[in-house]
Amino acid sequence: MSDFQMTIGGETARGSRSFPVVNPATGETFAEAPDCTREELDAAMEAARTAYTSWRRDEDARREALRRCAAVLREKAVELGPILTREQGKPLPKAVGEFLGASIWFDTTAGLELPVEVVQDDENTRIEVRRRPLGVVGAITPWNFPIILGVWKIAPALLAGNTVVIKPSPFTPLATLELGRVLQEALPPGVLNVVSGGNDLGAWITEHPAVRKISFTGSVATGKRVAAAAAPDLKRVTLELGGNDPAIVLPDVDPKAVAEKLFWGAFENSGQICAAIKRVYVHEDAYSSLLSELAELASTVKMGDGMEEGVQLGPINNAPQLERVKELVEDAKRGGASIAAGGKAREGGGYFFEPTVVGDVDDGTRLVDEEQFGPVLPLVRYRDVDDAIARANASPFGLSASVWSNDLERATELAAEIECGTAWINQHVNIVPNAPFGGAKWSGIGVENGPWGLLGFTELQTVNIAKG
């Protein structure tokens, strides 16, 4: 029997089956989550479809409801943080911060406009371009930031007038189930439904006839499956997928001055961020000194159970991901890479992999070419910056990238050459609610956040009025 409950039509639903949830800091099961059946999913879809008929009508009421959601999360962040830490692994202050960030997102989204544009208004004709909601949105999220990534979908989908059925990752279902439970006091029944289960449940959502839009965040491989499953029913899709973000460090920077920002751009959340730095291209003049600065930081950072005070990095979230990180590091070692810090899994319980800095690697090594999604950072030497940009672009991924230089103009020019959705200068992973975030190439289709993200949950409607 599950310790946590789904939310369907404003009611808690324990579900008829359950599955275990593991604490990655210990490797042991600590809770059960409902394993949603097809019938239970049908009930959630029906609730969302029913709620849509009235929810779509009153924009002011929706804005107010979003502000109430923000207030609930502000109030509950400290209470809910530990659940996220236990299932995801991240340090407790970061887990609490994720709920607070979600609260900010609700508030910011509540202030966005749903514009009605008048493209013609003369004595014969008035033409308005309006934004209509789509209907029921199926939202599917990964295990690295279940709350904030969920709210990036829930808040704009609801403001636009849609209703939502959301499914978190089977590795991290609990915080999202709790999110659904606490937000019921701010929302009418059926507007936000939360179901949990395995990957099959995700596939059922993408095929479900009630769903008019899928908003998906996860890996490229699953994103392609989602796109294929949505196609026969012409469901709208937004896909936020993986990345292999390059950071390009120009020779004019002082390695000591940038090391700490680069380090956290790569290692925050133990590297499990879609838009983390996943490969660094360093000019050969700065290479050895930046390598040793980063190695020093990696060897002194405190990794451990996120519930312990002072822990800066938690474990990798799950066993398959730990295996993948091990495999990529072993492959790099076999190819002649040098390990400047870390390099192996930690003995004992939990899915810990030492913060690892890898030198003497090049493009063509899996650790450089693929998304490692863990606490491991490869540094690649370059001589000519145009060549570094070309290598950064020689990837199917295009989520984000950064250029590091004291010459902001030059850095900005170079950033414009990189094929990616977000280019940062002298920083990385600074995602804000008022700018679009999304990927080029395999990193996604569509964007989230700001007015651009909101409009992705709408369809255009032209209203053409003959006056005479």
Per CB under 6 A, the segment of 36-44, 120-128, 166-174, 402-410 that binds ligand NAD is 166-174
Q: Which is nearer to ligand NAD, 175 or 226 (CB)?
A: 226
CB of 206 to ligand NAD, least distance (A): 5
Q: Which is nearer to ligand NAD, 195 or 295 (CB)?
A: 195
CB of 110 to ligand NAD, least distance (A): 22
H-type helices in 301-378, by residue range? 319-334, 366-369
Q: Which helix H or strand E contains 422, and what residues bound it?
A: strand 422-425
Q: Does 225 bind ligand NAD (CB under 6 A)?
A: yes
Q: What does the longest C-alpha to C-alpha distance in the chain come to?
A: 81
Per CB under 6 A, the segment of 59-67, 183-191, 241-249, 328-336 that binds ligand NAD is 241-249
The yes-or-no answer on residue 274 being catalytic is: yes
Q: Which is nearer to ligand NAD, 402 or 405 (CB)?
A: 402
Angle subtended by helix axes 287-300 and 255-267, to nearest 10: 50
Phi (first) and psi of residue 141, to 5 degrees:
-125, 160
CB of 130 to ligand NAD, least distance (A): 29
Q: Does 241 bind ligand NAD (CB under 6 A)?
A: yes
Of 226, 332, 454, 455, the one binding ligand NAD (CB under 6 A) is 226
Q: What residues does 12 pair with on adjacent strands?
A: 7
Q: Which helix H or strand E contains 102, and what residues bound it?
A: helix 92-110
Phi (first) and psi of residue 252, to 5 degrees:
-80, -5
Cα–Cα dist 181/179, whole Å: 5
Cα–Cα dist 361/436, whole Å: 33
CA-closest candidate to residue 32, choices 14, 11, 48: 14
Q: Which is nearer to ligand NAD, 237 or 290 (CB)?
A: 237
Phi (first) and psi of residue 321, to 5 degrees:
-70, -35
Per CB under 6 A, the segment of 198-206, 350-358, 383-391, 455-463 that binds ligand NAD is 198-206
Q: Which is nearer to ligand NAD, 70 or 226 (CB)?
A: 226
State the binding string over 426-455 for ligand NAD (x if CB under 6 A, else -): -------------x----x-----------
CB of 127 to ligand NAD, least distance (A): 36
Q: Which helix H or strand E contains 88, and what residues bound it?
A: helix 59-88
Q: Does 373 bind ligand NAD (CB under 6 A)?
A: yes
Q: Which is nearer to ligand NAD, 168 or 304 (CB)?
A: 168
69, 87, 178, 274: which one is catalytic?
274
Q: Does 18 bind ligand NAD (CB under 6 A)?
A: no
Q: Does 143 bind ligand NAD (CB under 6 A)?
A: yes
* Binders in 103-142 for ligand NAD, by CB under 6 A: 140-142
| The one-letter amino acid at 361 | V
Cα–Cα dist 126/202, whole Å: 43
Total Cβ atoms within 10 A of residue 181: 17
Of 24, 81, 150, 218, the one binding ligand NAD (CB under 6 A) is 218
Size of the site for ligand NAD (CB under 6 A): 29
Q: Does 85 bind ligand NAD (CB under 6 A)?
A: no
Q: Which is nearer to ligand NAD, 365 or 449 (CB)?
A: 449
Per CB under 6 A, the segment of 69-77, 122-130, 164-172, 328-336 that binds ligand NAD is 164-172
Q: Which residue is nearest to ligand NAD (CB)?
A: 202
The answer to whether 277 and 402 are in contact (CB under 8 A) is yes
Of 15, 243, 342, 378, the one binding ligand NAD (CB under 6 A) is 243
Phi (first) and psi of residue 343, to 5 degrees:
110, -5
Edge-to-edge order in the sheet of strand 245-249: 338-341, 356-361, 376-382, 277-283, 245-249, 400-404, 422-425
State the binding string over 251-280 for ligand NAD (x if CB under 6 A, else -): -----------------------x------
Of 5, 109, 206, 372, the one binding ligand NAD (CB under 6 A) is 206
Q: Does 240 bind ligand NAD (CB under 6 A)?
A: yes
Q: Is 67 helix (H, G, I), strand (E, B) or coil?
A: helix
Q: Does 161 bind ligand NAD (CB under 6 A)?
A: no
Q: What residues does 118 pair with on adjacent strands?
A: 128
H-type helices in 301-382, by residue range? 319-334, 366-369
Q: Does 456 bind ligand NAD (CB under 6 A)?
A: no
108: CB partners within 8 A, 6+ apart: 433, 434
CA-closest candidate to residue 136, choices 11, 50, 13, 226: 50
The answer to whether 172 and 317 are in contact (CB under 8 A) is yes
Cα–Cα dist 463/447, whole Å: 26
Q: Which residues are catalytic?
A: 240, 274
| Residues of this chain that bind ligand NAD (CB under 6 A) | 140-144, 149, 167, 169-170, 199, 202-203, 206, 217-219, 222, 225-226, 240-243, 274, 371, 373, 399, 439, 444
